[in-house]
Structures are given as structure tokens and as C-alpha cells.
């Protein structure tokens, strides 16, 4: 299990298991936030706690942040999928470095092609240290 929290500790999340990758996205929002995402479904391996404020982008996605310290904690889909589940992703930058350092980076071109790009061998530690 990986745990993360905002700087002041008011917003927390847990990710059961170990993510296959940490997504670095270059979309107009993610590149500004500087986040690394680990994906799942709300209430299924990912749990969030604490009061948040949300920036809602378009019709599909909410970016949740701590109203006290401003850290972006997670995003969540506004709608439930056909399977009755709702996508969510937590910001791995809010975890302790040793817990996520060896997770490989997945690149997603959310700006131009909206496609996954090949891995380049880097991991979270390469982004931080």
C-alpha cells in the first residue's frame, strides 16, 4: 500500500498494491500542476479522505486540491462508466519518495495526440532526485 497526503495533512489518499506506472501527462492542466498519476477506480483500491476543493475542467474531470495548502491530491471523473465505476487517479508526488521511487514513468501526450507514448526507462526517482 502507498499513502500520500497534502503538505498540511488535511487531505490523504491510499493506493492498495503497487501501480504499474506513474503517468506524466503534458496536457494543459497536468503540466502546470507537475503531477504524476496512479490510476484506479474510486473505492476499489484507491481511497481518499479529507475536505477538498475542485477545479472542474469541461464536462469530464475534477481536479481536487487541499483548500488549506493547495496541493493537488487527485482527479476524479465526473461521470460513472458503463461498468458503474468511476475513474480516479492520485498524485504520487504526495507520497514519501522511497515508497514510489522505483515506479516506472509512463508518458501520455494529452496535449496533441491523446495517446500513450513509449517508456524511456526513467522512474519516479529520476524526476525527483
Average pLDDT over residues 100-114: 95
- pLDDT value of residue 6: 98
Confidence of residue 128 (pLDDT cuts 50, 70, 90): confident
Domain ranges of the chain: 2-128
94: cell is 504526495
Alpha-helix residue ranges (DSSP H) falling in 4-50: 30-33
Question: What region does 119 belong to: left with phi over 0, alpha with psi -120 to 50, or beta?
Answer: beta
**In this structure, what DSSP letter does residue 52 have?**
-
Q: Is the pLDDT of residue 98 over 80?
A: yes
Considering the four listed CATH numbers 3.20.20.80, 1.10.10.10, 2.170.150.70, 3.30.565.10, the one that applies to the domain covering 2-128 is 2.170.150.70
Tell me the whole-structure pTM to 2 decimals.
0.93
pLDDT in tens, 18-58: 999 999 999 999 999 999 999 999 999 999 999 999 999 88
Q: Average model confidence (pLDDT) for the chain?
A: 95
Amino acid at each position: 500500500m502507498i499513502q500520500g497526503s497534502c503538505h498540511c495533512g488535511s487531505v490523504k489518499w491510499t493506493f492498495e498494491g503497487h501501480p504499474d506506472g506513474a503517468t506524466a501527462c503534458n496536457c494543459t492542466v497536468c503540466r502546470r500542476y507537475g503531477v504524476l498519476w496512479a490510476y484506479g477506480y474510486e473505492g476499489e483500491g484507491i481511497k481518499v479522505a479529507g475536505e477538498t476543493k475542485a477545479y472542474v475542467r469541461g464536462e469530464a474531470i475534477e481536479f481536487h486540491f487541499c483548500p488549506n495548502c493547495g496541493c493537488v491530491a487527485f482527479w476524479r471523473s465526473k461521470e460513472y462508466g458503463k461498468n458503474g465505476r468511476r475513474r480516479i487517479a492520485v498524485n504520487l508526488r504526495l507520497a514519501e519518495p522511497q515508497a514510489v521511487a522505483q515506479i516506472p514513468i509512463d508518458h501520455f501526450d494529452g496535449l496533441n495526440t491523446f495517446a500513450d507514448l513509449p517508456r524511456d526507462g526513467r522512474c519516479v526517482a529520476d524526476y525527483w532526485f
